Amino acid sequence: MTHMMILVLLVMMIISVKDIIGREFSFLYTDFCQADELSVMREYEVSRSYIAIVKDTRGNKYIIKQHKKKDVPKVDVLCVREMFGACMAEMLGIPANKVRLIPAGESVRGKPLRHRAATIHEFIEGNIHYVERTLIKKQGKNKFSLRQLYSRAPTEADYGLTLLVILSMACHRDFPRIVALDTFLGISDRKARNMIYDEKKDIFYFIDFDNGCMRDLCYWAAVRIKEIIKKQGSGLGKKEYVALAVYYETLKQIVDMFPPEKVDRIFQELFEDLHMREHDDAAYYVGLCKKRMRTSYESAKKLLVVLKELFALYSKNTGFYH
């Protein structure tokens, strides 16, 4: 059996049929619970948000997040970006916390500003410190990161899917899929604290998607892969190629499942559910998200071609031609 056939079989084992099918659903919080069912367990503030942990009458726990900044239309569109990324993960079967939208103008316990939108997130039980206290310690300092840096990158050479990210995503079967989604969405801040580990199930759950829809990381991923091709695959071993094969298949899923027309429709439905149609600025920011995701879609198709070139190089280097 050839090396590439082994890679394909491993990918098929990791990505199940259920992952590929996905499903459609309501974007509203009423898909989780009713407003009068909720009671507040704890409320606190972080630098950018109000946070409340609430539970319903059946004992299910949720987190309500509402942004604090005063620029209402621009900030509330962050809820749309959060919803879009989290719902993509849900449709793709990528483990992540499920998120729904609480529209502007609706009163829900744990949402302090009635006139502003918020998001409600399923509460995930797990170890939020596992990556920084266990995995990074095991790999060694500065030898693990899933962050595809952009605006905070020290140099242009550090943009996107660097060798460090590729080596890191080979550390667990869940990592290549979230890295692929982050690439497509343009999420550059996949920090240790937004990966929650369920040790019993050996599953990582991913949170925080509101950083997406702002940059074209597919373009930079292609640049980084071309650099690896020029170096004849230097730095990559079998584990890294397996991870990249899963990354490739996930990105291909995304391109197949989320053409621009579908993305535009999802954003429009989210904008309608936001209840901010009277704000021209909100419409502008949502339109900007649509435009940037169209750019990412076109770059993703080019990235898939470049990845196939890398796999062909791997086959050639290992003595197999396809």
Give the model confidence (pLDDT) of 188-218 as tens digits.
Answer: 999 999 999 999 999 999 999 999 999 999 9
Cβ-based neighbours of 187, under 8 Å, separated by 6 or more: 85, 148, 181, 209, 211, 212, 217
Let me know the angle formed at the C-alpha of 143 by 140 and 145, rounded to the nearest 5 degrees: 125
Is residue 39 in a domain?
Answer: yes
When pLDDT is averaged across residues 137-163 and rounded to a whole number, the result is 93
Is residue 23 in a domain?
Answer: no
CATH number, domain containing residue 138: 1.10.1070
Pairing of strands 195-198, 49-55: unpaired
Q: Residue 132's pLDDT is what? A: 92
Tokens of 56: 């319903």
Q: Residue 24's pLDDT is what? A: 55
CA distance 233 to 313: 8
Please say which residue of 67, 101, 122 terminates a domain: 122
CA distance 95 to 273: 25
Model-level pTM? 0.90
**DSSP character string of 125-193:** PSBTTHIIIIIHHHH-TTS------STT-SSGGGSSS-HHHHHHHTTSTTHHHHHHHHHHHT-----GG
Is residue 24 in a domain?
Answer: no
**Residue 37 DSSP one-character state:** G
Residue 101 burial by CB count (10 A; 0-12/13-18/19+): exposed, middle or buried?
A: buried
Residues 112 and 232 both lie in one domain? no
Residues 109 and 164 both lie in one domain? no
Cβ-based neighbours of 231, under 8 Å, separated by 6 or more: none
When pLDDT is averaged across residues 279-306 and rounded to a whole number, the result is 95
Is residue 21 in a domain?
Answer: no
Which of 23-37, 84-98, 101-115 is predicted with the least confidence, judged by mean pLDDT?
A: 23-37
Is residue 198 in a domain?
Answer: yes
Number of independent structural domains in the chain:
2
Residue 140's pLDDT band, with cuts at 50, 70 and 90, is confident
Residues 8 and 111 both lie in one domain? no
Is residue 19 in a domain?
Answer: no
Residues 236 and 169 both lie in one domain? yes
Tokens of 71: 């620029």
Residues 151 and 288 both lie in one domain? yes
Residues 213 and 66 both lie in one domain? no
Q: Residue 21's pLDDT is what? A: 33
Q: Residue 287's pLDDT is what? A: 95
Number of Cβ atoms within 10 Å of the Cβ of 135: 17
Which of 11-25, 136-150, 185-199 is predicted with the least confidence, judged by mean pLDDT?
A: 11-25
Percent of the chain with pLDDT over 90: 80
Residues 89 and 150 both lie in one domain? no
Is residue 275 in a domain?
Answer: yes
**DSSP character string of 53-73:** EEE-TTS-EEEEEEE--S-HH
Residue 319's pLDDT band, with cuts at 50, 70 and 90, is low
Residue with tokens 């793709």: 92
Please say which residue of 122, 154, 188 terminates a domain: 122
Residues 187 and 298 both lie in one domain? yes
Residues 115 and 165 both lie in one domain? no
Q: Which domain holds residue 266?
A: 3-14+127-317
Q: Residue 11's pLDDT is what? A: 46
Residues 100 and 136 both lie in one domain? no
- Residue-averaged pLDDT of the chain: 90
Q: Residue 99's pLDDT is what? A: 97
CATH number, domain containing residue 104: 3.30.200
Residues 279 and 164 both lie in one domain? yes
Q: Residue 150's pLDDT is what? A: 96
Is residue 132 in a domain?
Answer: yes
Q: Which of 215, 241, 217 is nearest to 228 (CA)?
A: 241
Please say which residue of 122, 156, 188 terminates a domain: 122
Residues 135 and 202 both lie in one domain? yes
Total residue length of the chain: 322
- Helices of type H across the chain: 3-14, 17-21, 72-92, 130, 136-139, 163-169, 175-185, 217-230, 238-257, 260-274, 280-317
Q: How many CA atoms lie within 13 A of 208 on its CB side?
A: 16
Q: Is the pLDDT assigned to residue 239 strictly greater than 90?
A: yes
Q: Residue 321's pLDDT is what? A: 37
